[in-house]
DNA sequence: CTCAAAAATTCCGAAAGTATTCT
DNA sequence: CAGAATACTTTCGGAATTTTTGA
C-alpha cells in the first residue's frame, strides 16, 4: 500500500480551450493483427508491450482529426471533414468492395481480440486482414524495448514529476488514506451494522464526520439541537430548514414563503405568494394543502426491484391533430403555389416553421427532410398546381416555404397580442385538459407524472453531426403505445376510434407508457416527475453508491496504478482507462453505431483524439456527449503517458481505437468486482461531489450572504468544469459584457469626480496624499473621458427632451395646449452649464461640489460606497465572463449530492432558496431533511 | 409607483448517453 | 458471447417565467 504513495494518480489540467483545433491529418487507417487465441493473445500482448515506445514521441503523427472549429459542430459548416475524413481513409485501404462494412473496420481489433471463433468465422467486417501499410512517419522508428513488469520503472520515461501538482497529489493521497481508513472501519462496524432495522432517530456521533455508517445514517437526526452547536441559527429558529420528522403535516406548510421574504430583502412585498395561480386547484408545490406527505426516506429501506404494488393513471396525452393551413397558405414550387395533401402539407409546414433556424441551412438536415418529404408526397398523391395538375417536386431549391413561415409567424404574433386575461384563460383551459394526466396514483399516493405528453411529430433535431437529422419524426398513434398499469385497475380509455398497443402490469419498472420512435428505433417512456418518490429514491441511492465508493477508491487507485504496468495489454488498457475516468471524469464511452453522430467517451477514444505532448502531457480533443467538445491539455503520470504512447503505437493510426482491448462491459464488470453496483459513471458522481465538498471546505464562514452565494457558485463551477458541462455563449453576451464594462468605467469616472470634489475643497490634499489622487489607469485616457462627458450630456439631453415630449403628449391628450419649443430650449440650458463645468473640470482637475454643506468627510463616505459598487460590478462582470461557456446547472441537478448544499446552507446560514430553485428543492426534498450542518459526503 | 422592455433565471422537451438484461 | 432490447440518467438549447432596469 505504502508503495503507492508515490504514484498517486494525478493530473493537472491546463488550458481548456474552445478554439478551433488543427486541421485534420490525412487519415491513414491501419488494421491491427487479429488475435487468435488466448495464449496467442497473451503472447501478442507481450510483444506489443515490448514494442518501441520512445521512438514514437518525435515521429508519430500527432494531428487530431477533430479539426473544425467551434465547440459545437455547427451543422451548416460544409467543409467538416470529421466523419467524412474517416470513411475515405478506410476506404482507401479496404480496396475490397465499397461502402458496406467500411467504418466498422476501425474497431476490428477490438471485436476480434475477444474470441477466437468469432474471429475466424466472423463477418467480413472483422476480416483478419493485416495491413502492412504503416504510416510513413512511424515506419522507421528506432526500437527501444520495454519489458514487462519489474524494470518497467518510471525512470525510463522522461518525467517531470516535480512539476506535477503537489497540491493535487496531496489531496489524493489524503483521500486514499481516508478511503483505506474507512474500509477498515467498515469491516469493524460490519457486525454492528446488522441491527439496522428499527428507525430510532439516533442523535449519535455528530462530532465525527467520517463515520463509516452505511445505511442507517440517512434517517439520522435532522437538526437536533442536542449538542447546541448552532447558536445563531437558534435565533431565527422559526424557519428551521429542516422539518421535524414527527410532524407529518402541520409543520410542513407556511414556512417557505416566510424564508423567501426574508431572503429577498428589498424586492419582497411585491408579489411574494400571490402568483400561485389561485385557481384553487392543486396549487402545486407548497406541500399539498393538508394532504399528508409521504416521506419515503423515513421508511425502512427496500430492495428496490419492486417499484410499486398498485399503480393507477390516466394514460397519456396525445398532441392535437394536425390542422390544415388556410387555403391561401401554400408552399411555392417554381414560384407556383402548390396544393399538397394534408400529410405532406404537415411535413412541409414543419420545415416552414424552422426556416429561420440554423437547421434549415444544414445540408444534411435539408437532404434528409427533403427525401422524407418527397416520399410522403408520393404516397399521398403528390402536389398539384392551381390548375389541378400534378407537379413533381424534384428540387429542394425550387421550394419556397416562406408563405408557411410567414403564416406561422403571424400566428405567433397574434397569440402574443392577446390580452393578459385572454392568455390566462387559454392557459387555464390547457391546464384543465392536462390535469388528469399530471398525476398518477402509486401505491395509493398521488405522484406527479413527468412527460405525460406523447412527443409531437416534427423534424428530428439530432445534435451535432447526426446522420439522421432532419428526418420526419412521425406522429405516434395509440396503437403504438403500451401502457403499464396496476392489475385490477381500470385501463384508461384510448382516444376514440383507437386501441392501445398493449397493456402490461410490470411492477419492476417505473414507466407508465412506452412507444418506439421511428427515427432511431429508440424506446421512449412516460415516467414520473423528478420530485416523485421513485425518482427521489433512485437519486438517493445513486449518491449513496457514490459515497460507498469512498471506501474503495483507495484500493481501486492502488490497483489501477499497479495494473498500468501489467504485461497483459487488456489489463493495462483497462487500468489506464480507469485512470482517465477517475481523474478526468470522462464518460465510459459505449460503442456507437454508424447512424449516429460520431462522438466518443473514454473506451471509444480513437487515435486522433489524444495527442502526446512530451514529457508528460496529453492533449485531448474529441466530441463527447451531445457533440460537446472536450479539449484539454492534461498533465498525467509518466506511466499513463507511456501507456497512451504504447496504445497509439503503429501500426495504429487515425481511426483506430486507443483502447482496442477494452469495452465498457469489461470495464464495468471489473469495477463491479470492487463493489456491488460500481460502474464507470459512479466515478463521475463521486468525483463531482467530492470536489464540491473539497471546494466548500475552503470557503470561509464570513461575509454577506451574497458573498457566500458567490463562493458556492465558484465551487459549483469547479465541478462543472471537471465534468465539462458547457453551454453556448448567447449571442447577446458580448454586448451585455461590453455594456457592463462601460458601466464600470462610468462608475470609475464618478469616483474620479468625487476625488476632484475633495480637491476642490481641500487643494492641499494632493500633496499630502499623492497616492490617493493617482490617476485611475482604467480611465486614464483623456479621449475617453471627453467622450464620456459628451455622452453624459447627450443622455441628459435625451432625458429632458423625452420628458418634455411626454408632457406634451399628455397635454394634448387632455385637450390642453402643448408647451412651446422655447420651454424645451430653456430647459436644455442646463446642458450648457454641464458642458462648462466639464470644461472647467478638465482644466483645473477639480470639481465644485453641488449642494450645500458638503464636507470632505461626506465625500469620502460617498467615495467608499462608490468603490464598493465598483468592486461588486467588477466581480459580477468577471463571473459573467468566466461562466459564459460553463453550465452550472447540470452538475447541480445530477452530480453534486444535494445534502452538501443543504449542509452548506445550514452551516453558512444561507437560505436554501438562494441555491436551489423551487423545482430543485422539490426534487431534493429528501435531502433537505436528512443533512445537517455537519453532514459529509 | 407603474409599465414595458430587456435581461436573467428557471423550467421543459427530447436527444443522447450509460448500464444491464435478454436472445 | 455479440448484438439487440430495455430502462433509466444526463444533457443541452430554447421556451416560459421572473426579475431587473429604466423610463
Q: Give domain limits for chain A.
A: 2-166+545-689, 199-234+243-271, 704-728+885-929, 734-879
Report the alpha-carbon distance of residue A381 to residue A680 in Å, rounded.
52
Chain A window 359-398: residues with CB closer than 7 Å to nucleic chain C are: none
- Name the grid cell of A369: 427532410
**Nucleotide closest in space to A71 (CA vs C1'):** C12
pLDDT higher than threshold 50 for residue A239: no
Confidence (pLDDT) at A572? 96
pLDDT higher than threshold 60 for residue A38: no
Give CA separation, A705 vs A263, A268, A698, A785, A879, in Å: 9, 16, 16, 36, 17
Report the alpha-carbon distance of residue A526 to residue A528 in Å, rounded.
7
Most confident of the ranges A10-19, A420-429, A630-639: A630-639
Confidence (pLDDT) at A910? 95
Q: Which residue is nearest to nucleotide C6 (CA to C1')?
A: A523
Q: Which residue is nearest to nucleotide B20 (CA to C1')?
A: A665
3-state class (DSSP) for residue A472: strand
Report the alpha-carbon distance of residue A491 to residue A502 in Å, rounded.
11
Among residues A212, A109, A932, A197, the alpha carbon closest in space to that of A570 is found at A109
**Nucleotide closest in space to A461 (CA vs C1'):** B15
Pairing of strands A513-516, A523-526: antiparallel
Q: Pick the residue with more confidence: A928 or A77?
A: A928
Rounded to an integer, the average pLDDT of A561-584 is 97
Confidence (pLDDT) at A172? 63
pLDDT higher than threshold 90 for residue A396: yes
Provide the CA A25 to C1' C2 distance, Å, integer.
33
The edge-to-edge listing of strands for the beta sheet with A445-448 is A311-312, A439-442, A445-448
Report the alpha-carbon distance of residue A438 to residue A59 in Å, rounded.
62
Report the alpha-carbon distance of residue A357 to residue A354 in Å, rounded.
5
Rounded to an integer, the average pLDDT of A727-745 is 86
In A439-501, where does DSSP find H-type helix?
A: none
> Among residues of chain A, what percentage have pLDDT more than 90?
48
Report the alpha-carbon distance of residue A565 to residue A416 in Å, rounded.
65
Q: Pick the residue with more confidence: A638 or A192?
A: A638
Burial class (CB in 10 A: 0-12, 13-18, 19+), A255: middle
Confidence (pLDDT) at A659? 97
Backbone angles phi, psi at A352, to 5 degrees: -55, -40
Provide the CA A670 to C1' B8 distance, Å, integer.
46
**Nucleotide closest in space to A917 (CA vs C1'):** B10
**Nucleotide closest in space to A525 (CA vs C1'):** C7
Rounded to an integer, the average pLDDT of A281-291 is 46
Chain A window 574-613: residues with CB closer than 7 Å to nucleic chain C are: 587
Q: Pick the residue with more confidence: A271 or A390?
A: A390
- What is the Cβ-side half-sphere exposure of residue A42, based on CA atoms within 13 angstroms? 2
Rounded to an integer, the average pLDDT of A352-357 is 94
Chain A window 504-523: residues with CB closer than 7 Å to nucleic chain C are: 506, 508-511, 514, 521-523
- Name the grid cell of A737: 459584457
Among residues A487, A393, A484, A364, the alpha carbon closest in space to that of A83 is found at A364
Q: Is the peptide bond before A159 cis (omega within 30 degrees of 0)?
A: no
The 10 Å Cβ neighbour count of residue A422 is 11
**Nucleotide closest in space to A914 (CA vs C1'):** B9
Asked whether residue A535's C-beta has any atom of DNA/RNA strand C within 7 A, the reply is yes
Among residues A908, A915, A896, the alpha carbon closest in space to that of A933 is found at A908
Report the alpha-carbon distance of residue A14 to residue A191 in Å, rounded.
46
Residues 6+ apart with CB under 8 A from A277: A283
Q: Which residue is nearest to nucleotide B14 (CA to C1')?
A: A455
Region of poorest pLDDT, from A116-125, A607-616, A689-698:
A116-125
Candidates A437, A579, A630, A895; catalytic one: A895
- Please indicate whether residue A579 is annotated as part of the active site: no
**Nucleotide closest in space to A894 (CA vs C1'):** C10
In this prediction, residue A793 has a pLDDT band, given cuts at 50, 70 and 90, of confident
Report the alpha-carbon distance of residue A261 to residue A911 in Å, rounded.
11
Confidence (pLDDT) at A183? 62
Rounded to an integer, the average pLDDT of A364-369 is 97
Rounded to an integer, the average pLDDT of A352-370 is 95
Distance, C-alpha A401 to centroid of its chain: 35
Average pLDDT taken over every residue of chain A: 75
In this prediction, residue A630 has a pLDDT band, given cuts at 50, 70 and 90, of very high
Pairing of strands A439-442, A445-448: antiparallel
Among residues A497, A548, A499, A520, the alpha carbon closest in space to that of A214 is found at A548
Instruction: Let me know: does A476 contact A515? Beta carbons within 8 Å.
Output: yes
Provide the CA A269 to C1' C19 distance, Å, integer.
14
**Nucleotide closest in space to A603 (CA vs C1'):** B18
pLDDT higher than threshold 90 for residue A370: yes
Burial class (CB in 10 A: 0-12, 13-18, 19+), A188: exposed
What's the CATH number for A2-166+545-689? 3.90.15.10
- What is the Cβ-side half-sphere exposure of residue A538, based on CA atoms within 13 angstroms? 15
Report the alpha-carbon distance of residue A937 to residue A931 in Å, rounded.
10
Confidence (pLDDT) at A186? 57
Report the alpha-carbon distance of residue A758 to residue A769 in Å, rounded.
12
In A130-165, where does DSSP find H-type helix?
A: 136-139
Q: Is the dihedral of CA A539, A540, A545, A547 positive or negative?
A: positive
Nearest-5° Cα angle at A114, A112 to A120: 45
In this prediction, residue A132 has a pLDDT band, given cuts at 50, 70 and 90, of very low
Backbone angles phi, psi at A459, to 5 degrees: -100, 130
In this prediction, residue A415 has a pLDDT band, given cuts at 50, 70 and 90, of confident
Query: Which bases in strand B are touched by protein, i.e. have an atom under 7 Å from a CB?
Result: 7-21
Most confident of the ranges A94-103, A245-254, A302-311, A396-405: A396-405
DSSP string, A485-524: --TTSPPPPPSTT---SEEE--TT---SEEEE-TTT--EE
Q: Pick the residue with more confidence: A211 or A746?
A: A746
Q: Pick the residue with more confidence: A272 or A619?
A: A619
Q: Pick the residue with more confidence: A53 or A595?
A: A595
Confidence (pLDDT) at A520? 94
Provide the CA A757 to C1' C22 distance, Å, integer.
28
Provide the CA A507 to C1' C1 distance, Å, integer.
30
The 10 Å Cβ neighbour count of residue A402 is 12
Q: Can you count the helices (H) and strands (E) in chain A?
A: 30, 18
3-state class (DSSP) for residue A928: helix
Nearest-5° Cα angle at A255, A252 to A260: 140
Q: Pick the residue with more confidence: A664 or A882?
A: A664
Q: Which residue carries 458601466 as its cell?
A: A743
Confidence (pLDDT) at A760? 86
DSSP string, A182-204: HHHHHHHHHHHHTTT-S------
Pairing of strands A12-16, A383-384: unpaired
Asked whether residue A305's C-beta has any atom of DNA/RNA strand C within 7 A, the reply is no
Provide the CA A25 to C1' C12 distance, Å, integer.
30
Helix (H) or strand (E) holding A446: strand A445-448
A485-537: pLDDT as tens digits: 999 999 999 999 999 999 999 999 999 999 999 999 999 999 999 999 999 99
Q: Which residue is nearest to nucleotide C23 (CA to C1')?
A: A799
Rounded to an integer, the average pLDDT of A303-329 is 95
First to last CA, chain A: 24
Report the alpha-carbon distance of residue A913 to residue A772 in Å, rounded.
41
Give the 3-state DSSP-derived string for A713-763, with helices as H, strands as E and coil as C. Answer: HHHHHHHHHHCCCECCCCCCHHHHHHHHHHHHHHHHHHHHHHHHHHHHHCC
pLDDT higher than threshold 90 for residue A914: yes
Asked whether residue A260's C-beta has any atom of DNA/RNA strand C within 7 A, the reply is no
In this prediction, residue A394 has a pLDDT band, given cuts at 50, 70 and 90, of very high
Chain A window 865-904: residues with CB closer than 7 Å to nucleic chain C are: 887, 889-891, 893-895
Give the CATH number of domain A704-728+885-929; options: 3.40.50.800, 1.10.150.530, 3.90.440.10, 1.10.132.10. Answer: 1.10.132.10
pLDDT higher than threshold 60 for residue A24: no
Query: Which bases in strand C are touched by protein, i.e. have an atom under 7 Å from a CB?
Result: 1-3, 5-14, 17-20, 23
Region of poorest pLDDT, from A418-422, A639-643, A656-660, A777-781:
A777-781
pLDDT higher than threshold 50 for residue A176: yes
Instruction: Let me know: does A301 contact A541? Beta carbons within 8 Å.
Output: no
Provide the CA A864 to C1' B16 distance, Å, integer.
52
pLDDT higher than threshold 60 for residue A615: yes
In this prediction, residue A696 has a pLDDT band, given cuts at 50, 70 and 90, of very high
Provide the CA A70 to C1' C14 distance, Å, integer.
20
Q: Pick the residue with more confidence: A878 or A53?
A: A878
In A222-358, where does DSSP find H-type helix?
A: 232-235, 255-264, 342-353
A873-885: pLDDT as tens digits: 888 888 888 899 9
- Name the grid cell of A848: 465644485
pLDDT higher than threshold 50 for residue A205: no
Provide the CA A594 to C1' C22 distance, Å, integer.
54
pLDDT higher than threshold 50 for residue A348: yes
Amino acid at each position: 500500500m505504502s508503495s503507492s504513495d508515490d504514484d498517486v494518480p494525478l493530473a493537472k489540467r491546463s488550458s481548456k480551450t474552445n478554439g478551433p483545433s488543427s486541421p485534420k491529418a490525412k487519415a491513414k487507417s491501419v488494421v491491427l493483427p487479429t488475435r487468435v487465441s488466448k495464449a496467442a493473445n497473451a503472447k501478442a500482448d507481450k510483444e506489443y508491450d515490448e514494442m518501441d515506445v520512445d521512438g514514437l514521441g518525435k515521429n508519430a503523427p500527432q494531428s487530431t482529426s477533430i479539426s473544425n472549429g467551434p465547440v459545437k459542430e455547427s451543422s451548416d459548416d460544409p467543409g467538416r471533414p470529421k466523419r467524412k475524413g474517416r470513411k475515405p481513409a478506410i476506404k482507401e485501404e479496404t480496396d475490397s468492395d465499397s461502402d458496406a462494412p467500411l467504418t466498422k473496420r476501425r474497431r476490428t481489433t477490438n471485436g476480434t481480440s475477444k474470441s477466437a471463433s468469432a474471429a475466424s468465422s466472423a463477418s467480413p467486417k472483422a476480416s483478419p486482414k493485416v495491413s502492412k501499410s504503416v504510416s510513413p512517419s512511424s515506419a522507421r522508428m528506432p526500437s527501444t524495448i520495454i519489458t514487462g513488469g519489474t524494470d518497467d520503472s518510471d525512470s525510463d520515461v522522461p518525467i517531470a514529476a516535480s512539476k506535477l501538482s503537489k497540491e493535487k497529489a496531496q489531496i489524493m493521497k489524503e483521500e486514499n488514506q481516508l478511503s483505506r481508513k474507512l474500509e477498515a472501519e467498515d469491516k469493524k462496524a460490519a457486525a454492528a451494522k446488522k441491527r439496522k432495522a428499527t428507525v430510532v432517530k439516533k442523535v449519535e456521533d455528530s462530532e465525527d464526520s467520517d463515520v463509516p455508517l452505511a445505511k442507517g445514517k440517512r434517517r439520522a437526526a435532522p437538526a437536533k439541537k442536542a449538542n447546541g452547536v448552532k447558536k445563531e441559527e437558534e435565533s431565527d429558529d422559526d424557519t428551521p430548514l429542516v422539518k421535524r420528522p414527527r410532524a407529518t403535516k402541520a409543520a410542513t406548510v407556511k414556512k417557505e414563503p416566510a424564508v423567501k421574504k426574508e431572503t429577498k430583502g428589498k424586492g419582497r412585498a411585491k408579489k411574494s405568494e400571490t402568483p400561485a395561480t389561485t385557481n384553487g386547484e392543486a396549487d402545486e408545490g407548497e406541500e399539498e394543502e393538508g394532504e399528508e406527505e409521504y416521506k419515503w426516506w423515513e421508511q425502512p429501506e427496500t430492495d428496490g426491484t419492486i417499484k410499486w404494488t398498485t399503480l393507477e393513471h390516466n394514460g397519456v396525452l396525445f398532441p392535437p391533430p394536425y390542422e390544415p393551413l388556410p387555403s391561401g397558405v401554400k408552399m411555392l414550387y417554381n414560384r407556383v403555389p402548390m396544393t399538397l395533401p394534408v400529410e405532406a402539407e404537415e411535413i412541409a409546414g414543419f420545415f416552414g416553421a424552422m426556416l429561420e433556424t440554423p437547421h434549415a441551412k444544414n445540408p444534411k438536415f435539408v437532404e434528409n427532410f427533403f427525401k422524407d418529404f418527397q416520399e410522403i408526397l408520393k404516397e399521398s398523391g403528390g402536389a398539384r398546381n392551381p390548375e389541378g395538375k400534378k407537379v413533381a417536386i424534384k428540387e429542394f431549391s425550387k421550394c419556397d416555404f416562406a408563405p408557411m413561415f410567414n403564416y406561422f409567424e403571424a400566428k405567433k404574433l397574434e397569440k402574443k397580442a392577446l390580452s393578459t386575461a385572454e392568455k390566462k384563460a387559454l392557459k387555464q383551459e390547457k391546464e384543465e385538459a392536462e390535469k388528469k394526466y399530471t398525476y398518477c396514483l402509486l401505491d395509493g399516493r398521488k405522484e406527479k407524472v413527468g412527460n405525460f405528453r406523447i412527443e409531437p411529430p416534427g423534424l428530428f433535431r439530432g445534435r451535432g453531426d447526426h446522420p439522421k437529422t432532419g428526418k420526419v419524426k412521425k406522429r405516434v398513434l395509440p396503437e403504438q403505445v403500451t401502457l403499464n398499469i396496476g392489475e385490477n385497475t381500470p385501463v384508461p380509455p384510448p382516444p376514440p376510434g383507437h386501441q392501445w398497443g398493449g397493456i402490461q402490469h410490470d411492477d419492476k419498472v417505473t414507466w407508465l407508457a412506452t412507444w418506439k420512435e421511428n427515427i432511431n428505433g429508440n424506446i421512449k417512456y412516460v415516467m414520473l416527475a423528478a420530485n416523485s418518490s421513485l425518482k427521489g429514491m433512485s437519486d438517493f441511492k445513486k449518491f449513496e453508491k457514490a459515497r460507498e465508493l469512498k471506501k474503495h477508491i483507495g484500493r481501486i487507485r492502488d490497483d489501477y496504478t499497479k495494473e498500468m504496468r501489467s504485461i497483459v495489454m487488456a489489463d493495462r488498457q483497462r487500468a489506464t482507462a480507469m485512470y482517465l475516468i477517475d481523474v478526468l471524469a470522462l464518460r465510459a464511452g459505449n460503442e456507437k453505431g454508424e447512424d449516429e453522430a460520431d462522438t466518443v467517451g473514454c473506451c471509444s477514444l480513437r487515435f486522433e483524439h489524444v495527442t502526446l505532448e512530451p514529457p508528460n502531457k496529453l492533449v485531448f480533443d474529441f466530441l463527447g456527449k451531445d457533440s460537446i467538445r472536450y479539449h484539454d491539455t492534461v498533465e498525467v503520470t509518466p506511466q499513463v503517458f507511456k501507456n497512451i504512447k504504447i496504445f497509439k503505437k503503429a501500426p495504429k493510426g487515425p481511426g483506430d481505437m486507443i483502447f482496442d482491448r477494452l469495452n465498457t462491459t469489461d470495464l464495468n464488470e471489473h469495477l463491479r468486482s470492487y463493489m456491488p453496483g460500481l460502474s464507470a459513471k459512479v466515478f463521475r458522481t463521486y468525483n463531482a461531489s467530492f470536489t464540491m465538498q473539497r471546494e466548500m471546505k475552503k470557503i470561509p464562514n464570513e461575509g454577506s450572504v451574497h458573498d457566500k452565494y458567490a463562493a458556492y457558485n465558484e465551487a459549483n463551477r469547479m465541478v462543472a468544469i471537471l465534468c465539462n458541462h458547457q453551454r453556448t455563449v448567447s449571442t447577446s453576451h458580448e454586448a451585455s459584457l461590453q455594456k457592463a464594462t462601460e458601466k464600470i468605467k462610468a462608475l470609475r469616472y464618478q469616483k474620479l469626480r468625487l476625488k476632484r470634489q475633495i480637491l476642490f475643497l481641500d487643494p492641499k490634499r494632493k500633496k499630502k496624499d499623492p497616492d490617493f489622487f493617482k490617476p485611475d489607469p482604467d480611465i486614464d485616457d483623456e479621449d475617453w473621458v471627453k467622450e464620456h462627458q459628451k455622452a453624459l450630456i447627450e443622455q441628459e439631453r435625451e432625458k429632458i427632451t423625452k420628458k418634455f415630449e411626454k408632457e406634451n403628449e399628455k397635454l394634448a391628450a387632455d385637450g390642453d395646449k402643448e408647451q412651446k419649443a422655447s420651454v424645451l430650449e430653456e430647459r436644455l440650458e442646463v446642458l450648457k452649464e454641464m458642458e462648462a463645468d466639464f470644461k472647467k473640470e478638465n482644466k483645473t482637475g477639480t470639481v465644485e461640489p453641488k449642494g450645500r454643506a458638503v464636507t470632505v468627510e461626506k465625500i469620502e463616505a460617498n467615495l467608499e460606497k462608490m468603490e464598493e459598487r465598483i468592486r461588486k460590478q467588477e466581480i459580477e462582470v468577471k463571473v459573467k465572463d468566466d461562466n459564459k461557456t460553463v453550465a452550472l446547472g447540470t452538475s447541480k441537478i445530477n452530480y453534486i449530492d444535494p445534502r452538501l448544499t443543504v449542509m452548506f446552507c445550514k452551516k453558512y446560514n444561507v437560505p436554501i432558496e438562494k441555491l436551489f430553485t423551487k423545482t430543485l428543492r422539490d426534487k431534493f426534498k429528501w435531502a433537505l431533511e436528512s443533512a445537517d450542518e455537519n453532514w459529509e459526503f
